[in-house]
Amino acid sequence: MIDYSKFKVEDFVTDESFCLWVKGTSPEHTAFWEFWTEAHPEKSETIRQARLLLLGLKNQPTAINEDEISLEVEKIVRLVEKPSPFKARFGLPFWSRIAAVVVLAAGLGWWLWSRNPISISKQKRPEIAAQTTENTRVEVSNNTHSDYTATLPDGSTVQLKKGSKVSFSEKFSGDKREVFLTGEGFFQVVRNPNKPFFVYANDLVTRVLGTSFTVKTYSQEQKVVVAVKTGKVMVFSLSELKKSEKIANYHLQSLYLLPNQQATFERQNEKFNKALVEQPAIVTMPVETPNFTFENTPIAEVFAKLKKAYGVNIMYDADLMKNCSVTAPLGNESLFVKLDIICKTIGARYEIVETEIVISSRGCP
Protein backbone atom coordinates (compact mmCIF):
# COMPACT_ATOMS: atom_id res chain seq x y z
CA MET A 1 0.00 0.00 0.00
CA ILE A 2 1.38 3.42 -0.92
CA ASP A 3 2.32 5.59 2.06
CA TYR A 4 1.20 9.00 0.77
CA SER A 5 1.92 10.63 4.13
CA LYS A 6 5.62 10.69 3.19
CA PHE A 7 5.05 12.18 -0.27
CA LYS A 8 6.51 15.54 -1.30
CA VAL A 9 5.17 17.82 -4.03
CA GLU A 10 7.14 16.09 -6.79
CA ASP A 11 5.88 12.67 -5.63
CA PHE A 12 2.23 13.72 -5.84
CA VAL A 13 2.72 15.30 -9.28
CA THR A 14 3.95 11.97 -10.72
CA ASP A 15 1.43 9.73 -8.94
CA GLU A 16 -1.20 8.34 -11.33
CA SER A 17 -4.06 8.29 -8.82
CA PHE A 18 -3.39 11.86 -7.68
CA CYS A 19 -3.29 13.08 -11.29
CA LEU A 20 -6.64 11.43 -12.06
CA TRP A 21 -8.14 13.15 -9.01
CA VAL A 22 -6.87 16.58 -10.06
CA LYS A 23 -8.21 16.02 -13.59
CA GLY A 24 -11.61 15.10 -12.10
CA THR A 25 -12.09 12.20 -14.51
CA SER A 26 -12.37 9.34 -12.01
CA PRO A 27 -15.10 9.25 -9.31
CA GLU A 28 -13.29 6.33 -7.64
CA HIS A 29 -10.06 8.29 -7.21
CA THR A 30 -11.97 11.43 -6.23
CA ALA A 31 -13.65 9.58 -3.36
CA PHE A 32 -10.30 8.15 -2.21
CA TRP A 33 -8.50 11.51 -2.19
CA GLU A 34 -11.37 13.31 -0.44
CA PHE A 35 -11.13 10.70 2.31
CA TRP A 36 -7.31 10.83 2.41
CA THR A 37 -6.99 14.63 2.52
CA GLU A 38 -9.55 14.76 5.34
CA ALA A 39 -7.44 12.27 7.25
CA HIS A 40 -4.15 14.15 6.67
CA PRO A 41 -4.71 17.89 7.22
CA GLU A 42 -0.97 18.31 7.79
CA LYS A 43 -0.42 17.66 4.06
CA SER A 44 -2.85 20.34 2.86
CA GLU A 45 -0.14 22.80 1.78
CA THR A 46 1.80 20.11 -0.09
CA ILE A 47 -1.41 18.95 -1.80
CA ARG A 48 -2.27 22.51 -2.77
CA GLN A 49 1.14 23.12 -4.37
CA ALA A 50 1.00 19.81 -6.26
CA ARG A 51 -2.50 20.59 -7.58
CA LEU A 52 -1.34 23.99 -8.82
CA LEU A 53 1.58 22.48 -10.66
CA LEU A 54 -0.62 19.84 -12.32
CA LEU A 55 -3.23 22.41 -13.30
CA GLY A 56 -0.48 24.40 -14.96
CA LEU A 57 0.62 21.34 -16.91
CA LYS A 58 -2.69 19.67 -17.75
CA ASN A 59 -3.29 21.55 -21.01
CA GLN A 60 -0.04 20.40 -22.60
CA PRO A 61 -0.31 18.36 -25.83
CA THR A 62 0.71 15.07 -24.18
CA ALA A 63 1.99 13.54 -20.97
CA ILE A 64 5.51 14.18 -19.68
CA ASN A 65 8.19 11.70 -18.71
CA GLU A 66 8.04 11.56 -14.94
CA ASP A 67 11.81 11.28 -14.40
CA GLU A 68 12.38 14.54 -16.25
CA ILE A 69 9.46 16.34 -14.67
CA SER A 70 10.53 15.26 -11.17
CA LEU A 71 13.88 16.99 -11.58
CA GLU A 72 12.30 20.15 -12.94
CA VAL A 73 9.53 20.19 -10.34
CA GLU A 74 12.13 20.00 -7.59
CA LYS A 75 13.73 23.12 -9.02
CA ILE A 76 10.38 24.91 -9.19
CA VAL A 77 9.46 23.91 -5.64
CA ARG A 78 12.75 25.33 -4.40
CA LEU A 79 11.82 28.60 -6.07
CA VAL A 80 8.59 28.65 -4.07
CA GLU A 81 10.28 27.80 -0.78
CA LYS A 82 13.23 30.17 -1.30
CA PRO A 83 12.64 33.69 0.14
CA SER A 84 12.12 36.12 -2.70
CA PRO A 85 14.57 39.10 -2.84
CA PHE A 86 11.59 41.25 -3.84
CA LYS A 87 9.53 40.25 -0.82
CA ALA A 88 11.33 42.57 1.58
CA ARG A 89 10.96 45.52 -0.77
CA PHE A 90 7.52 44.95 -2.24
CA GLY A 91 5.88 42.49 0.17
CA LEU A 92 5.32 39.90 -2.58
CA PRO A 93 2.90 37.35 -1.06
CA PHE A 94 3.27 33.57 -1.20
CA TRP A 95 0.45 33.15 -3.74
CA SER A 96 2.14 35.52 -6.16
CA ARG A 97 5.12 33.19 -6.18
CA ILE A 98 2.80 30.22 -6.67
CA ALA A 99 1.24 31.94 -9.68
CA ALA A 100 4.70 32.43 -11.12
CA VAL A 101 5.40 28.76 -10.58
CA VAL A 102 2.28 27.80 -12.56
CA VAL A 103 3.52 29.88 -15.49
CA LEU A 104 6.93 28.23 -15.24
CA ALA A 105 5.27 24.81 -15.06
CA ALA A 106 3.29 25.45 -18.24
CA GLY A 107 6.45 26.45 -20.05
CA LEU A 108 8.24 23.42 -18.65
CA GLY A 109 5.52 21.11 -19.96
CA TRP A 110 5.85 22.46 -23.51
CA TRP A 111 9.63 22.29 -23.38
CA LEU A 112 9.71 18.67 -22.23
CA TRP A 113 7.05 17.64 -24.73
CA SER A 114 8.94 19.19 -27.64
CA ARG A 115 12.09 17.33 -26.59
CA ASN A 116 10.65 13.91 -25.89
CA PRO A 117 6.86 13.37 -26.24
CA ILE A 118 6.38 10.08 -24.39
CA SER A 119 3.66 8.94 -21.97
CA ILE A 120 3.96 8.59 -18.21
CA SER A 121 4.84 5.13 -16.96
CA LYS A 122 3.63 3.87 -13.61
CA GLN A 123 6.30 4.62 -10.99
CA LYS A 124 7.24 1.70 -8.79
CA ARG A 125 7.81 2.51 -5.15
CA PRO A 126 9.12 0.13 -2.49
CA GLU A 127 6.49 -1.35 -0.24
CA ILE A 128 6.60 -0.05 3.33
CA ALA A 129 5.83 -2.75 5.88
CA ALA A 130 3.69 -1.74 8.85
CA GLN A 131 5.27 -2.30 12.26
CA THR A 132 3.10 -3.60 15.06
CA THR A 133 3.77 -4.38 18.70
CA GLU A 134 2.50 -7.58 20.19
CA ASN A 135 0.42 -7.18 23.35
CA THR A 136 -2.39 -8.91 25.17
CA ARG A 137 -5.49 -9.76 23.15
CA VAL A 138 -8.91 -9.03 24.64
CA GLU A 139 -12.06 -10.84 23.55
CA VAL A 140 -15.53 -9.72 24.61
CA SER A 141 -18.46 -12.07 24.02
CA ASN A 142 -22.09 -11.20 24.68
CA ASN A 143 -23.75 -14.32 26.08
CA THR A 144 -26.68 -12.41 27.60
CA HIS A 145 -30.17 -11.97 26.16
CA SER A 146 -29.78 -8.22 25.62
CA ASP A 147 -27.31 -5.83 23.99
CA TYR A 148 -23.96 -5.27 25.68
CA THR A 149 -21.68 -2.24 25.17
CA ALA A 150 -17.92 -2.81 25.29
CA THR A 151 -15.43 0.05 25.58
CA LEU A 152 -12.30 -0.16 23.42
CA PRO A 153 -8.79 1.08 24.39
CA ASP A 154 -9.20 4.46 22.66
CA GLY A 155 -12.59 5.21 24.23
CA SER A 156 -14.59 4.02 21.22
CA THR A 157 -17.50 1.70 21.94
CA VAL A 158 -19.21 -1.25 20.28
CA GLN A 159 -22.73 -2.37 21.17
CA LEU A 160 -22.82 -6.13 20.70
CA LYS A 161 -25.98 -8.05 19.88
CA LYS A 162 -26.75 -11.35 21.59
CA GLY A 163 -24.25 -14.05 20.62
CA SER A 164 -21.77 -11.55 19.12
CA LYS A 165 -18.13 -11.07 20.04
CA VAL A 166 -15.28 -8.68 19.35
CA SER A 167 -11.54 -9.02 19.89
CA PHE A 168 -8.79 -6.40 19.96
CA SER A 169 -5.41 -5.60 21.48
CA GLU A 170 -5.28 -4.38 25.05
CA LYS A 171 -3.59 -1.26 23.69
CA PHE A 172 -3.86 0.08 20.14
CA SER A 173 -0.25 0.25 18.98
CA GLY A 174 1.23 1.08 15.62
CA ASP A 175 -0.44 3.37 13.09
CA LYS A 176 -3.96 1.92 13.17
CA ARG A 177 -6.69 0.60 15.48
CA GLU A 178 -7.86 -2.91 14.63
CA VAL A 179 -10.79 -4.95 15.91
CA PHE A 180 -12.26 -8.28 14.79
CA LEU A 181 -16.01 -8.84 14.87
CA THR A 182 -18.23 -11.90 14.72
CA GLY A 183 -21.99 -11.33 14.81
CA GLU A 184 -23.46 -7.82 14.89
CA GLY A 185 -22.10 -4.67 16.49
CA PHE A 186 -22.84 -0.94 16.42
CA PHE A 187 -19.59 1.04 16.58
CA GLN A 188 -19.15 4.60 17.79
CA VAL A 189 -15.57 5.47 16.96
CA VAL A 190 -13.54 8.27 18.50
CA ARG A 191 -12.09 10.38 15.69
CA ASN A 192 -8.33 10.12 15.20
CA PRO A 193 -7.12 11.05 11.66
CA ASN A 194 -3.60 9.89 12.53
CA LYS A 195 -4.72 6.38 13.47
CA PRO A 196 -7.59 5.04 11.32
CA PHE A 197 -9.96 2.43 12.74
CA PHE A 198 -10.33 -0.96 11.03
CA VAL A 199 -13.05 -3.56 11.59
CA TYR A 200 -12.40 -7.03 10.18
CA ALA A 201 -15.59 -9.05 9.69
CA ASN A 202 -15.11 -12.36 7.88
CA ASP A 203 -13.90 -11.34 4.40
CA LEU A 204 -14.80 -7.65 4.68
CA VAL A 205 -12.73 -4.74 6.01
CA THR A 206 -14.28 -1.45 7.16
CA ARG A 207 -12.05 1.62 7.55
CA VAL A 208 -13.12 4.82 9.32
CA LEU A 209 -11.57 7.85 11.01
CA GLY A 210 -14.33 8.63 13.49
CA THR A 211 -17.98 7.81 12.92
CA SER A 212 -20.84 5.50 13.89
CA PHE A 213 -21.93 2.46 11.92
CA THR A 214 -23.24 -1.08 12.20
CA VAL A 215 -21.52 -4.23 10.96
CA LYS A 216 -23.51 -7.45 10.70
CA THR A 217 -21.64 -10.66 9.98
CA TYR A 218 -22.28 -14.23 11.06
CA SER A 219 -19.99 -17.11 10.13
CA GLN A 220 -22.82 -19.23 8.68
CA GLU A 221 -24.06 -16.40 6.43
CA GLN A 222 -22.60 -15.55 3.04
CA LYS A 223 -23.30 -11.81 3.34
CA VAL A 224 -21.79 -9.01 5.41
CA VAL A 225 -23.73 -5.76 5.88
CA VAL A 226 -22.27 -2.36 6.84
CA ALA A 227 -24.75 0.46 7.55
CA VAL A 228 -23.60 4.02 8.27
CA LYS A 229 -25.31 6.29 10.79
CA THR A 230 -22.88 9.23 10.85
CA GLY A 231 -19.65 10.15 9.10
CA LYS A 232 -17.93 8.50 6.15
CA VAL A 233 -16.94 4.83 5.84
CA MET A 234 -14.74 2.97 3.37
CA VAL A 235 -15.27 -0.78 2.82
CA PHE A 236 -13.24 -3.26 0.80
CA SER A 237 -12.60 -6.98 0.67
CA LEU A 238 -9.88 -8.67 2.68
CA SER A 239 -8.37 -9.99 -0.55
CA GLU A 240 -8.01 -6.39 -1.80
CA LEU A 241 -6.18 -5.45 1.40
CA LYS A 242 -3.77 -8.37 0.96
CA LYS A 243 -3.07 -7.31 -2.63
CA SER A 244 -2.28 -3.77 -1.53
CA GLU A 245 0.18 -5.11 1.04
CA LYS A 246 1.99 -7.23 -1.53
CA ILE A 247 1.88 -5.07 -4.65
CA ALA A 248 3.59 -1.68 -4.70
CA ASN A 249 1.50 1.17 -6.11
CA TYR A 250 -1.68 -0.92 -5.87
CA HIS A 251 -4.91 1.07 -5.43
CA LEU A 252 -7.63 -0.54 -3.37
CA GLN A 253 -10.93 -1.28 -5.09
CA SER A 254 -13.18 0.13 -2.41
CA LEU A 255 -16.65 1.52 -1.79
CA TYR A 256 -17.49 4.70 0.12
CA LEU A 257 -20.60 5.03 2.25
CA LEU A 258 -22.27 8.15 3.65
CA PRO A 259 -24.94 8.49 6.37
CA ASN A 260 -28.08 6.37 5.75
CA GLN A 261 -26.24 4.28 3.16
CA GLN A 262 -25.35 0.61 3.49
CA ALA A 263 -23.30 -1.94 1.59
CA THR A 264 -24.01 -5.66 1.36
CA PHE A 265 -20.92 -7.73 0.60
CA GLU A 266 -21.42 -11.16 -0.97
CA ARG A 267 -18.51 -13.21 0.31
CA GLN A 268 -18.55 -15.92 -2.36
CA ASN A 269 -18.13 -13.70 -5.40
CA GLU A 270 -16.79 -10.61 -3.52
CA LYS A 271 -19.53 -8.39 -4.91
CA PHE A 272 -20.90 -5.21 -3.31
CA ASN A 273 -24.46 -3.91 -3.42
CA LYS A 274 -24.99 -0.32 -2.29
CA ALA A 275 -28.38 0.93 -1.08
CA LEU A 276 -30.22 3.07 1.44
CA VAL A 277 -30.71 1.66 4.93
CA GLU A 278 -34.20 0.32 5.72
CA GLN A 279 -35.10 3.26 7.95
CA PRO A 280 -33.08 6.41 7.18
CA ALA A 281 -32.55 8.57 10.27
CA ILE A 282 -32.14 12.33 10.56
CA VAL A 283 -28.43 13.15 10.34
CA THR A 284 -28.48 16.86 11.28
CA MET A 285 -27.29 17.93 14.72
CA PRO A 286 -29.93 18.13 17.48
CA VAL A 287 -29.76 21.93 17.54
CA GLU A 288 -30.59 21.88 13.83
CA THR A 289 -33.55 19.49 14.00
CA PRO A 290 -35.74 20.63 11.11
CA ASN A 291 -39.39 21.58 11.25
CA PHE A 292 -41.39 19.41 8.85
CA THR A 293 -44.60 21.42 9.07
CA PHE A 294 -45.32 22.56 5.52
CA GLU A 295 -47.95 25.12 4.56
CA ASN A 296 -48.29 25.75 0.84
CA THR A 297 -44.54 25.15 0.63
CA PRO A 298 -42.97 24.87 -2.86
CA ILE A 299 -41.94 21.31 -3.64
CA ALA A 300 -38.31 22.33 -4.28
CA GLU A 301 -38.09 23.64 -0.70
CA VAL A 302 -39.73 20.49 0.67
CA PHE A 303 -37.28 18.17 -1.08
CA ALA A 304 -34.31 20.37 -0.13
CA LYS A 305 -35.28 20.15 3.55
CA LEU A 306 -35.62 16.36 3.39
CA LYS A 307 -32.28 16.04 1.60
CA LYS A 308 -30.51 18.15 4.22
CA ALA A 309 -32.15 16.35 7.15
CA TYR A 310 -31.54 12.78 5.96
CA GLY A 311 -28.50 13.21 3.74
CA VAL A 312 -30.31 11.42 0.90
CA ASN A 313 -30.25 12.64 -2.69
CA ILE A 314 -33.76 13.22 -4.14
CA MET A 315 -34.04 13.35 -7.94
CA TYR A 316 -37.00 15.05 -9.64
CA ASP A 317 -37.88 17.20 -12.64
CA ALA A 318 -37.77 20.74 -11.23
CA ASP A 319 -39.33 22.36 -14.29
CA LEU A 320 -42.17 19.87 -14.51
CA MET A 321 -42.96 20.17 -10.78
CA LYS A 322 -42.34 23.91 -10.33
CA ASN A 323 -46.05 24.58 -9.62
CA CYS A 324 -46.34 21.83 -6.98
CA SER A 325 -46.64 22.79 -3.31
CA VAL A 326 -47.29 20.87 -0.11
CA THR A 327 -49.46 21.54 2.93
CA ALA A 328 -48.87 18.85 5.57
CA PRO A 329 -48.05 18.96 9.32
CA LEU A 330 -45.34 16.28 9.26
CA GLY A 331 -43.29 15.40 12.33
CA ASN A 332 -41.64 12.22 13.63
CA GLU A 333 -42.70 9.93 10.79
CA SER A 334 -40.00 7.94 9.00
CA LEU A 335 -38.59 9.35 5.78
CA PHE A 336 -40.58 6.93 3.64
CA VAL A 337 -43.87 7.72 5.42
CA LYS A 338 -43.17 11.42 4.82
CA LEU A 339 -42.58 10.70 1.14
CA ASP A 340 -45.78 8.66 0.94
CA ILE A 341 -47.79 11.60 2.30
CA ILE A 342 -46.04 14.19 0.13
CA CYS A 343 -46.44 12.15 -3.07
CA LYS A 344 -50.13 11.51 -2.41
CA THR A 345 -50.62 15.24 -1.85
CA ILE A 346 -49.18 16.21 -5.23
CA GLY A 347 -50.15 13.11 -7.22
CA ALA A 348 -46.63 11.76 -7.60
CA ARG A 349 -44.80 8.54 -6.72
CA TYR A 350 -41.27 7.63 -5.72
CA GLU A 351 -38.89 4.71 -6.05
CA ILE A 352 -35.50 3.92 -4.50
CA VAL A 353 -32.63 3.47 -6.95
CA GLU A 354 -29.55 2.32 -5.02
CA THR A 355 -28.84 5.26 -2.68
CA GLU A 356 -31.11 7.82 -4.36
CA ILE A 357 -34.85 8.54 -4.28
CA VAL A 358 -36.39 9.24 -7.70
CA ILE A 359 -39.69 11.13 -7.89
CA SER A 360 -42.03 10.64 -10.85
CA SER A 361 -44.78 13.21 -11.50
CA ARG A 362 -46.96 14.66 -14.26
CA GLY A 363 -46.64 18.08 -12.72
CA CYS A 364 -49.17 20.30 -10.96
CA PRO A 365 -51.66 22.76 -12.50
- The residue ranges of DSSP E strands in 131-173, in sequence order, are 137-141, 148-151, 157-160, 165-169
| Number of domains, the chain | 3
Residue (of 156, 197, 206, 202) closest to 183 by Cα position: 202
Residues 73 and 100 in one domain: yes
DSSP 3-state helix, strand, coil percentages of the chain (rounded to 5)? 35, 25, 40
Q: Supply the DSSP symbol for 352.
A: E
Residues 272 and 305 in one domain: no
pLDDT tens series, the chain, 365 aa: 577 888 888 888 888 888 888 877 666 677 677 777 877 778 888 888 888 877 765 544 444 444 445 545 555 555 544 454 444 444 444 444 454 554 454 444 444 434 433 222 222 222 222 233 346 888 899 988 889 999 999 999 999 998 899 999 888 888 889 999 999 999 999 988 889 999 999 889 999 988 899 999 887 788 999 999 988 899 999 888 888 888 877 777 888 999 999 999 998 888 899 999 988 988 866 556 678 889 999 999 999 999 988 989 999 999 999 999 999 888 888 999 999 999 999 999 999 988 899 999 988 98
Residues 8 and 62 in one domain: yes
Residue 206 in any domain: the answer is yes
Residues 247 and 344 in one domain: no
Structural domain of residue 33, as residue ranges?
A: 4-115
Residue 122 in any domain: the answer is no
Residues 253 and 148 in one domain: yes
Residues 56 and 172 in one domain: no
Residue 36 in any domain: the answer is yes
Residues 160 and 269 in one domain: yes
Residues 256 and 295 in one domain: no
Residues 142 and 270 in one domain: yes
Residue 120 in any domain: the answer is no
Residue 214's domain is classified under what CATH number? 2.60.120.1440
Residues 291 and 263 in one domain: no
Q: Supply the DSSP symbol for 82.
A: S
Full-model pTM: 0.60
Residue (of 236, 237, 282, 278) closest to 259 by Cα position: 282
> Of 276, 297, 317, which one is at a domain's C-terminal end?
276
